Amino acid sequence: MGSERAAVIKKTKNHGKSRYKVEVRIPDPNGKSKRVRRFCETLEQAKAIQSDLKSDIVTEGFWSALRPTQRLQVIRMWEQHTTTRQAAQDSAISLEEAASIYLKRKESLGLRASSLKFIRNILRRMNREVSSKQLSLVTVHDIERWFGNAGYSKSTVKGILNKLGPFFNWAIREGYCVDNPVKEVGIPIEDEKPPAIFTNTEVLKIFKAAQLICPKMVPYFALGFFAGLRPEEIKRLSWSAVQDNFIEIKAAKAKTRKRRLVSIEPNLVSWLRLGGDLPPINLRVNRQHIIKACGFCWLQDGMRHTYASNHLAHYENPNKTAHELGHRDTNMLYRHYRELVSNAAASEYWNILP
């Protein structure tokens, strides 16, 4: 590749007319080089040709550096890629049909109904928003255009991609498409935001409203605020899981499908003694009435975030807090759950009593 040089533009005469000449020497497979010249009318055209020739130099240099056996491998890989792509296009399966097959497969593997519902909603949304209804024709631009029009946040984009990625990987395995467009999707850049948590005053208001409007909802709030259980875990919990010193979250009821024991804090004992429904009944309606009476908005995952922030501030032991939350390490704790809470505020939090 030592004989090639950059493509040069010169103004010259060609057949009696003033034109631009683009000239370059490109290496050939024999270790020599050949001169390539192009003539055009305008400087803009000459620059475009110059750019193309630069690509040719790189390509020719790469090709000439390969041994014959390596060139044969490249050719075979390209032929295989072309054949696979053509087969995927010939299958012409629609997004809707592929989604149906995929969901049935996931259901047969034992995926929970709530997870199936979440994936189904994402796939339906994609089918509605992207222009390409054929699975093999969906591109990264289709998905990015969908996200851009919807104005999704960074966390929402990541959540959707976490479900779309496995879907397209499955489609590739089944021969329905060749590429996974999710891999090239750009993630929105946002400043890190602290997790939203309830203040001690708001927590107290929620419990007072629950006792007044729907006392049977007290265990739901108590387990969320003072044990850090996920809402879905509380919805699957029964009183038999509540022991003297711990709460047993069985693998079948845990998000991670791993059994764990959660410690019972002293103030949680007092709230649980009031009794109520486990699992909660008419959860969404009853919670809506209670929060409406409080006069502020409900925070998604707010109970668990509030628990984690106050537990960490009170015990000053990240490993202990992560263990109670059911995390393998403290990375998740610091990345998603921690909010700065003072020791005094945390002490007040763990003394919220009936």
At residue 328, what are phi and psi to the nearest 5 degrees? -70, -30
- Structure confidence at residue 186 (pLDDT): 85
Q: How many CB atoms lie under 10 A from the CB of residue 233?
A: 24
- Identify the pLDDT of residue 333: 80
> Which pLDDT does position 269 carry in this prediction?
94
Amino acid at site 52: D
Per-residue pLDDT at 55 = 66
How many CA atoms within 13 Å lie on the side-chain side of 154? 7
Q: What integer pLDDT is reported at residue 1 of this predicted model?
A: 39
pLDDT of residue 309: 92
pLDDT given for residue 64 in this prediction? 63
Predicted pLDDT of residue 3 = 42
Amino acid at 258: K
Instruction: Give the chain's residues under pLDDT 70.
Output: 1-6, 26-33, 53-66, 71, 74, 78-92, 190-192, 251-257, 336-339
CA distance readout (Å), 179 to 90, 119, 135, 167, 296: 15, 20, 10, 12, 46
